[in-house]
Structure 1
Amino acid sequence: MADIIAMLLPFFGLIFIGYLAAKVTKQPAEALGWMNTFIIYAALPALFFKLVSRTPVEQLTRVDFILGEIGATYLIFFLLFLIGFFIRRNSFADCTIQSFAGAYGNIGYMGPGLTLLAFGEAAAVPVALIVCFENAAHFIVAPAMMAAAGDDRRPAIRVAADIARRVALHPFIISTVLGFCFAALAIRPPEAFQRLVDYLAQAAAPCALFAMGVTLALRPIRRVPVEIGYIAVFKLIMLPMTTYVVLSLIGNFDPVWIYSATLLSALPTATNVFVISQQYHVWQERASASILIITVLSVLTLPVFLYLINAGILPPDLIP
């Protein structure tokens, strides 16, 4: 357990440093703009390109793995939506944001660095596939659900065109597709280009975690949602366990793939959930509070999942 805590300490330490820096320097939120631009448009795309381009192409076409992981995520999403809509009697739009709070993990900022450190380079492919395809799914579902809720009054054709544009032009998607092309064609980029990609990729994790801490500090808790009690349980416990069960039942995956997906599912809520809530003016303060509270709680739950995996308590295949 001491080794696991030592592994997690730098990650949560960087988040805390970012949080503390924001509180001490009191910079405005706009000051974070260029760092977020660097992370989203340079560092993380370079990391995903690096991971995918160096992978045998046959490993990049595991549709069963992609569908299993996304299926598990959206099973939790729709369970939370049904609880919010039929039991809590919340609005359609509120239920959508609540469901994202319980199903949209911080896979982009926290996922690659932590998973690669925990499981080594063998985790590179599942991480890249999950980040690419799960983000694409969220980019599609969020505007579609908000359009169904009536908060997006644009014509359906414009909503569909916007969804297609966001998916096709997102830096994570573009970099992953380029990496796939390089892997499929066995293209080896020039050494100078590869060195640049390596430099950018190395900056991805520390910059992303620092920026996450700053973002959390700039969104203080003003309104704690009543729903946080069960949303946190679904996000930090139910989602990783559902992902683990679904993928292990599908079977025929390398254990590292199943464990990587489980660990990514156990990550706290993505800050993008607040961005979505802000974009549609729905559940904003409570989304911000949910992200902060679930991130703090993940300090307790992530070491448990890592221990269960490392100790062999969670076998890679439930039905050998």
Structure 2
Amino acid sequence: MLNVFNLVLPFFGLIFLGFFVARINRQPLEALGWMNTFIIYVALPALFFQILSKTPVAELTQWAFIIGCTASTFCIFLVMFLIAFVRTRKIDESTIQGLAAAYGNIGYMGPALAILAFGAPAAVPVALIFCFDNTLHFVMAPLMMALSGNDKRSARDLASGVLRKIFFHPFIIATILGVAAALVGFQPPVALERLIDLLAKAAAPCALFAMGATLALRPLKRIPKELYLIVPLKLLFQPLLIFCILSLAGDFPPVWISTAMLMAALPTATNVFVIAHQYGVWVERASSSILATTLFSIVTLTLWLYVMTHGLIR
């Protein structure tokens, strides 16, 4: 158990440091702009490129794994969406609630935590989950908002916007370049390789610190009753569901299943707040969902890691 605490606590320690420093320093939220730019456009893409460029190409075409993971994410989204829609009859609010229950912090927390927990073999399932789960969310959010009438763009502009988000997202570009490098066996020059390595190592600390600062600058103002569903769905039921689906979908290495469960058990992504703010729907409650799932995940992630690293689930 001590090994699990030693693994998890530094991650949440970085989030707490960001939270604490933001509280005492009182910089505006906009002050995080350049750090977020560095994380999203430079550091995390470098990490994904580094991982994928050294991965055997055959491991990148596990379609049963991809479909199983994406299907489990969609099922959680659909369950929360339907529950919310029965209550509110509002597609836009229900969409944000569905995203809060299904869209985990797979960019900021996922890669570094999974690789530290399960080693280098976790890199490929992390990259696959990241690419296809993000594609699902990039498609679902504008599509559902268009159906609700909240997004007034034409079908052509909507489709164009979705494709731009998918293919011009820095993480997706880095993934494509990483796969291409793996295909041709590209080996970067020593200086470039060292630069990529420096940027990749900066990704997790900067991302987690920025996440803590963001939570501090978006205080918990409104506790939605939906949290009683969102928290267990996100932190408990989603990892259980992905375990069941992957167990039926194929014979995957244990590290792939553990990685998928860990990615599913991550707290709600800060992008859910960004989407809510973009459409002006459920904004404060989206922020509350992120903070609540992050706090509860200190306990649930620790338990999941203990279960997985001690062979209690296979």
Amino acid at match of 1:37: T
In the superposition, the TM-score normalised over structure 1's length comes to: 0.97
Q: Does 1:302 find its partner at 2:301?
A: yes
Amino acid at match of 2:285: R
1:268 is paired with a residue whose SS is coil
Amino acid at match of 1:274: F
Amino acid at match of 1:85: F
User: Residue in 1 aligned with 2:38?
Assistant: 38
CA–CA separation in structure 2 for the residues paired with 1:252 and 1:182: 28
> Cα distance, 1:312 vs. partner?
1.3
CA–CA separation in structure 1 for the residues paired with 2:119 and 2:37: 28
> Cα distance, 1:30 vs. partner?
0.8
> Cα distance, 1:194 vs. partner?
0.9
The answer to whether the 8 A contact 2:272-2:286 is kept is yes
CA–CA separation in structure 1 for the residues paired with 2:166 and 2:313: 35
Amino acid at match of 1:98: Q
Identify which range, 107-116 or 129-138, moves more after superposition: 129-138
Identify which range, 120-129 or 133-142, moves more after superposition: 133-142
> Cα distance, 1:251 vs. partner?
2.0
> Cα distance, 1:253 vs. partner?
1.0
User: Residue in 2 aligned with 1:12?
Assistant: 12
User: Residue in 2 aligned with 1:201?
Assistant: 200
Amino acid at match of 2:49: F
Over residues 106-157 of structure 1, what are the superposed CA-to-partner deviations in whole Å (9 max), with x where a residue is unaligned? Answer: 0100001110010000101111111122112211111111111110011111
1:39-188 equivalences under 5 Å are: 39-86=39-86, 88-188=87-187
CA–CA separation in structure 1 for the residues paired with 2:105 and 2:158: 25
> Cα distance, 1:89 vs. partner?
2.9
CA–CA separation in structure 1 for the residues paired with 2:111 and 2:256: 13
The answer to whether the 8 A contact 2:100-2:272 is kept is yes
Identify which range, 88-97 or 296-305, moves more after superposition: 88-97
2:261 is paired with a residue whose SS is helix
Over residues 195-215 of structure 1, what are the superposed CA-to-partner deviations in whole Å (9 max), with x where a residue is unaligned? Answer: 111000000000000000001
Identity between Structure 1 and Structure 2 (%): 55
Amino acid at match of 2:291: L
1:189 is paired with a residue whose SS is coil
CA–CA separation in structure 2 for the residues paired with 1:173 and 1:89: 35
2:88 is paired with a residue whose SS is coil
Runs of 5+ unmatched residues, structure 1:
316-320
User: Residue in 2 aligned with 1:318?
Assistant: none
Q: Does 1:274 find its partner at 2:273?
A: yes
User: Residue in 1 aligned with 2:238?
Assistant: 239
> Cα distance, 1:6 vs. partner?
1.2
> Cα distance, 1:90 vs. partner?
4.3
2:166 is paired with a residue whose SS is helix
Amino acid at match of 1:38: F
Over residues 72-130 of structure 1, what are the superposed CA-to-partner deviations in whole Å (9 max), with x where a residue is unaligned? Answer: 000111011111112x2341111000000000000100001110010000101111111
CA–CA separation in structure 2 for the residues paired with 1:245 and 1:186: 36
2:188 is paired with a residue whose SS is coil
User: Residue in 2 aligned with 1:229?
Assistant: 228
CA–CA separation in structure 2 for the residues paired with 1:119 and 1:68: 20
CA–CA separation in structure 2 for the residues paired with 1:137 and 1:45: 19
CA–CA separation in structure 2 for the residues paired with 1:196 and 1:248: 39
The answer to whether the 8 A contact 1:126-1:261 is kept is yes
2:133 is paired with a residue whose SS is helix
Amino acid at match of 1:25: N
Over residues 1-59 of structure 1, what are the superposed CA-to-partner deviations in whole Å (9 max), with x where a residue is unaligned? Answer: 12101110100000000000100000001100000000000000000000000000000
In the superposition, the TM-score normalised over structure 2's length comes to: 0.99
1:67 is paired with a residue whose SS is helix
1:152 is paired with a residue whose SS is coil
Find runs of 4+ consecutive structure 1 residues off by over 3 angstroms.
none
The answer to whether the 8 A contact 1:240-1:266 is kept is yes
CA–CA separation in structure 1 for the residues paired with 2:182 and 2:251: 23
The answer to whether the 8 A contact 1:136-1:173 is kept is no
